[in-house]
């Protein structure tokens, strides 16, 4: 019996340029939301700051209204891994905040996330965020030479499993994804090593690469709001994400201001912008 697979959407250079427009607006919106994430500020305020940047540029959020999601960003604090609602929660010293947001311009999507530690960081939390961020960049760097999508997860897993010190866990229930004319598309982009190589990497493929790491166990649960994902053991979590395009000239990080130049430099990878 044959099983059908979700079709991958391959973009033209012109469509990737539209995604880049959305990615730059998103990067600016995340910059301002991160800057506003201070002790005493509510996560609802961060949502408003983010939304104001999108409005200023004529972009729309791809989160708000997505399966009735009520906000422009996901704001997940401490043991909340992902999909947390912005609320009247007041940020406190040492909180580990994940801000995940998206933007649409002319029907083309961008998706990106950052971890912010509010006030003075617990060194173990800072290490968690730093390793998660580097894991993301290692996955993106692997894409530059990858033949198959599964090599992204291989690179992330190999790095995280070999980091000295306290072991960190890679969540397996939540993974990256294709992105383009919709926020979530084929293929799934795993953050861990499996026996499956995944689809072949081809020009026109755009992927959201987003490892999520935890300081404790891998078991999670969804709260009664049917969205917020938390660790069962209360361990803190980190998430970092960028949207990346593959084209004939190489790769281009669509949601990084510099196209990924600084993040990829340690791995000897130079991003290749598409000229209009």
184 is in an annotated binding site: yes
100 is in an annotated binding site: yes
What is the four-CA torsion angle of 33, 36, 39, 43, rounded to 10 degrees? -40
210 is in an annotated binding site: yes
Choose among 229, 254, 226, 227: nearest CA to 239: 229
177 is in an annotated binding site: yes
CA–CA distance, 80 with 57 (Å, rounded to integer): 30
In this structure, what token pair is assigned to residue 218?
């891998």
CA–CA distance, 40 with 55 (Å, rounded to integer): 25
Choose among 185, 195, 111, 125: nearest CA to 157: 195
Tell me which residue has tokens 């939301």. 33
158 is in an annotated binding site: no
120 is in an annotated binding site: no
Helices (H), the chain: 13-36, 43-56, 123-145, 150-162, 261-264
Tell me which residue has tokens 């598409």. 274
Q: Which residues are annotated as a binding site for substrate?
A: 83, 184
Q: Which residues are annotated as a binding site for a divalent metal cation?
A: 100, 111, 177, 210, 241
Q: Which residues are annotated as a binding site?
A: 83, 100, 111, 177, 184, 210, 241
């Amino acid at each position: 019996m044959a099983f059908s697979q979700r079709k991958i959407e391959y973009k033209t250079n012109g469509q990737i340029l539209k995604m880049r427009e959305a990615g730059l607006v998103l990067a600016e919106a995340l910059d301002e939301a991160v800057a506003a994430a201070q002790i005493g500020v509510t996560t609802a305020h961060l949502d408003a700051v983010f939304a104001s940047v999108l409005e200023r540029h004529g972009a729309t959020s791809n989160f708000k209204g997505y399966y009735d999601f009520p906000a422009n960003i996901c704001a997940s604090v401490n043991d909340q891994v992902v999909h947390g609602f912005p609320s009247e929660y007041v940020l406190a010293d040492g909180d580990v905040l994940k801000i995940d947001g998206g933007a649409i311009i002319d029907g083309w999507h961008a998706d990106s996330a950052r971890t912010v530690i509010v006030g003075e960081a617990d060194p173990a939390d800072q290490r968690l965020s730093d390793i998660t961020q580097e894991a993301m960049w290692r996955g993106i760097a692997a894409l530059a030479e990858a033949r198959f999508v599964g090599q992204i997860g291989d690179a992330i897993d190999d790095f995280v499993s070999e980091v000295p010190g306290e072991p960190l866990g890679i969540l397996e229930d939540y993974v990256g994804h294709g992105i383009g004319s919709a926020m979530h598309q084929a293929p799934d982009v795993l953050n861990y090593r499996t026996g499956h190589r995944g689809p072949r990497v081809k020009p026109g493929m755009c992927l959201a690469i987003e490892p999520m790491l935890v300081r404790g166990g891998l078991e999670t649960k969804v709260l009664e709001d049917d969205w917020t994902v938390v660790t069962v053991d209360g361990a803190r979590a980190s998430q970092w994400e960028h949207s990346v395009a593959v084209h004939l000239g190489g790769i281009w990080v669509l949601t990084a201001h510099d196209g990924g130049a600084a993040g990829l430099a340690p791995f000897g990878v130079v991003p290749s912008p598409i000229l209009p």
